Amino acid sequence: MKKIGFIGLGVMGRPMAKNLLKAGYSLVVYDIVAAGMNDLIAAGARAGSSPKDVASQSEVVITMLPNSPEVRQAILGKDGVIEGIQPGAVVVDMSSIAPLASREVFARLAEKNISMIDAPVSGGEPKAINGTLAIMVGGPEKTFLAVKDILAAMGSSVTHVGEIGSGNITKLANQIIVALNIAAVAEALVLATKAGVDPEKVYQAIRGGLAGSTVMDAKVPMMLKRDFKPGFRIDLHIKDMMNALDTAHELGVPIPLSSQILEIMQALKVEGKARDDHSGLVQFYEKLAKIEVRK
């Protein structure tokens, strides 16, 4: 069974790494935050001293980091993965980053005959914990097949969608749909509440019809309970939407609804709500309508 290195033990990375341990993989881990490291060591992982050190001990190196700059630094920077990785090893970047950044890192690794895939995930912390993430993969099919079983230990849906960067293009599409869905639900429930109709009953009445969705079922209960503990933070969704806009502009694709949702998220960030779950988008509409959605 392959030796795995895991770099990035935050809200998502920590439970993902634990699921690899549960599946019986040998794991060496690294994070700049001690709490994540200590938790994984207690669960049976070994500690690495740097991304370079992790890579030197691993056949597969997984990164789960906040954004493109962190991925570049961890893989290509001083004491990075590229300085310690062994011939024949594979890099799996599971971060949600700009597709062009994935292609840049891939090209640099290819110069050392190291293969890479980008494999961002969807499902948030709950699905990271129970190992049922949706994983969308870009990169050489041969590389994907070599690590598919490892990915399956962290996700219930693992799909190869194309060449390098395709995983992150798919993730951006996912994040656009999720953001617009949450915003639509928020608008609708604020409207119902302002009209004097019980928002929970509205939800129950429409969830089985065409308007129903996984997003609705996950986020409406949080709105009704006023429970905005993340899940998936607004500031992280801002990052994804900015990557979506940048990529769309580079490709000449207008995405006007996405730009509006990004500005709504930015407004909530200014109000100190950046670390709220993205179900907290409802608070923007509530402020405009001067009413709260709740049970």
> What's the confidence (pLDDT) of residue 197?
98
The pLDDT assigned to 2 comes to: 84
- The answer to whether 122 and 171 are in contact (CB under 8 A) is yes
Q: What is the pLDDT of residue 35?
A: 86
**In this predicted structure, what is the pLDDT of residue 71?**
98
pLDDT of residue 34: 87
Q: Give the number of other CB atoms < 10 A from CB of residue 126.
A: 13
Task: State pTM to two decimals.
Answer: 0.92
d(CA 265, CA 283): 10
The residue from 18, 52, 127, 171 that is catalytic is 171
Give the pLDDT confidence of 66-83 residue by residue, as tens digits.
999 999 999 999 999 999
| The predicted structure's pLDDT at residue 149 | 97
> What are the pLDDT digits (tens) for 191-222?
999 999 999 999 999 999 999 999 999 999 99
Is the separation of the CB atoms in 230 and 125 below 8 Å? yes
- How far is residue 205's CA from residue 207's CA, in Å, rounded to a whole number? 6
CA distances from 50 to 214, 232, 295 (A): 38, 27, 48
For strands 121-122 and 133-138, give the pairing.
antiparallel
Task: Report the pLDDT value the prediction gives residue 231, as an integer from 0 to 100.
Answer: 82
Compute the distance between CA of residue 118 and CA of residue 101 in angstroms, rounded to an integer.
10
Domains, the chain: 3-163 (3.40.50.720), 169-289 (1.10.1040.10)
State yes or no: is 201 an active-site residue: no
Q: Where are the extended beta strands (E) located within 64-179?
A: 90-93, 115-118, 121-122, 133-138, 155-162
Q: Which parts of the chain sit beneath pLDDT 50?
A: none
